[in-house]
Amino acid sequence: MSKEFEQKAEAFHQELSREYYLAEAGLKEQLSITPIYERYAHLFGEDVVRELLSLANDRRGRYMAEWVTLEYLENLVKGVTEDISNAMRQATVEWEGEHVPYHNLRPMISNEPDMTRRHLLDQLEREVTASQNPHREQRFRSLHDEARGLGFDNYLALCDLLRGLNLVSLTEQARILLDETRDVFFRRLERFLNSIEVPTERAGTPDVLYLFRGRTFDALFPKEAMIPALTTTLAGMGIDLAQQENLELDLEPRPLKSARAFCVPIRIPEEVKLVIKPIGGPDDYASLLHEAGHAEHFVNVDPDLAFPFKRLGDNSVTEAYAFLFHYLPLNHHWLRRIVGIEDGGAYIKLARFQRLWLLRRYSSKLLYELELHTNLDEAEQRYVHLLGDALGVAIGAENYLADVDDAFYCAQYLRAWMLEVHLRRFLENRFGAEWFTSERAGDYLTSLWRQGQKLRPEELTISMGYDGLHSKYLVEELAST
């Protein structure tokens, strides 16, 4: 494959990333990606995809083939994608005599102490979500047809093969995780639901959102101390945030700015944005740290690497770096040294339970998505059954299509959670429980970040002295939650 093609692919990627950044950071009113796809349509022709698939016999070629094929599929359904996203952006519901935007409902549910009101808000949210389900179904059917059109057995096989997800083995590990953590999960669930006065038999996902919002811990995680916590953490590892000119920290409040922190690597490693609207609270700290993990990864990538190694490859790798920082607040040494919390025990218990919840949710989502992408007709019942069985609370059937990311991103998250435990154990063994205060740990991480996503999680774990990527350590940690 030609170098020129890679350069064009990189230019497309930069334009698309910049557009997402401008829209999500509130610097632009509408997200408009169709003109970008149109300008670069020559990258995503069916002949190009077929040629790349047939030539993909080395790592660089495989990463390009994966990316072009998935962009080719997205390009075919982008009209529907945009319609759904714009409909959701514009939708409002009636709540106490006011028009409330659909996107505000989730934060309102998380902050609503009254169970009945939470459930009503959730009902309103689900009704709007359901209104777009016919379009979502049409979109998935098109993706399934196009995957077969390219010569794959089905969409599942396409994703598994091109992304190197190892779905058979991952599914087995997801089942083990669900079995081994079942007892501890249900014991903790009942106790935590009691703590917010929700009877287990009436509990639904909105109650869990409220529980994990962790309002009682807000005072421990003030807004003003958030950026200093990040700066101090990085300084401990010998990283001076103020000196990183390629990383822009966008803290400016704008009305249209997304409420969640996010990181966009526009040009790697020359131009990376970390966007946040600080509000404080434990969740906000975790999401800032998560995005900072991505940002440090991207600003440290070797500028001489080829585009497929800088940006493509397995996203489980960058997600693992993000999780490594994201879960720092579960380390009581970090809470004490960086945030000044002497007794973080109660907070850590909740945060660990939240992690267990997420792992069970994603494990059951993987089982569900395997079925969804092979039998769409039964999907709605299977969603409610599989997630309900794993999570022990009522699951809103209306979310069965909206709660799905394309191309098994759920599998990449699961692989990232597995990789994060390997990496964290390695850092703790070599640099101690307070590894985040070690410049040598910082040097080691920087040496990993330099490689972009050239290496796969399996190879990274081997480089750390493990015998590969597996869920053993993760399950052990979760079972002792």
Chain residues in the site for Zn ion (CB under 5 A): 319, 322
49 vs 322, beta carbon nearer Zn ion = 322
CB of 390 to Zn ion, least distance (A): 22
Beta bridge partners of 275: 250, 262
25 vs 156, beta carbon nearer Zn ion = 25
Residue with tokens 């995005």: 291
Element (H, E) at 98: strand 98-101
CB of 351 to Zn ion, least distance (A): 17
322 vs 335, beta carbon nearer Zn ion = 322
Residue with tokens 């962790």: 214
185 vs 417, beta carbon nearer Zn ion = 417
> Phi and psi (nearest 5°) for 297?
-60, -55
CB of 419 to Zn ion, least distance (A): 13
CB of 54 to Zn ion, least distance (A): 33
CB of 110 to Zn ion, least distance (A): 19
**Nearest alpha carbon to residue 113 among 219, 191, 197:** 197
341 vs 445, beta carbon nearer Zn ion = 445
Beta bridge partners of 265: 272
For the chain, report the end-to-end CA distance as a whole number of angstroms. 48
270 Cβ neighbours under 8 A, 6+ residues apart: 246, 303
264 vs 441, beta carbon nearer Zn ion = 264
Instruction: State the helix-helix crossing angle for 409-431 and 167-180, rounded to 10 degrees.
Output: 70
CB hemisphere CA count around 233 (13 angstroms): 27
CA–CA separation, 44 and 75 (whole Å): 8
- 65: helix, strand or coil: helix
Measured in residues, the chain has a length of 481
188 vs 294, beta carbon nearer Zn ion = 294
319 vs 369, beta carbon nearer Zn ion = 319
Q: Are 425 and 433 in contact (CB under 8 A)?
A: no
Beta bridge partners of 98: 95
CA distances from 144 to 139, 152, 166, 320, 342 (A): 9, 10, 20, 29, 53
CB of 428 to Zn ion, least distance (A): 22
CB of 413 to Zn ion, least distance (A): 8
128 vs 275, beta carbon nearer Zn ion = 275
Beta bridge partners of 267: 271
Element (H, E) at 265: strand 262-267
**Nearest alpha carbon to residue 236 among 38, 441, 398, 81:** 441
CB of 242 to Zn ion, least distance (A): 24
44 vs 408, beta carbon nearer Zn ion = 408
CA distances from 77 to 15, 443, 448 (A): 19, 43, 36
Q: Are 434 and 445 in contact (CB under 8 A)?
A: no
Judging by DSSP bridges, how do beta strands 271-275 and 247-250 pair with one another? parallel
- 267: helix, strand or coil: strand
Residue of minimal CB distance from Zn ion? 322
CB of 273 to Zn ion, least distance (A): 14
322 vs 441, beta carbon nearer Zn ion = 322
435 Cβ neighbours under 8 A, 6+ residues apart: 427, 428, 441
The C-alpha R_g of the chain, in whole angstroms, comes to 22
CB of 322 to Zn ion, least distance (A): 4
In sequence order, what E strands does 390-441 have?
none
CB of 358 to Zn ion, least distance (A): 12
CB of 248 to Zn ion, least distance (A): 18
322 vs 404, beta carbon nearer Zn ion = 322
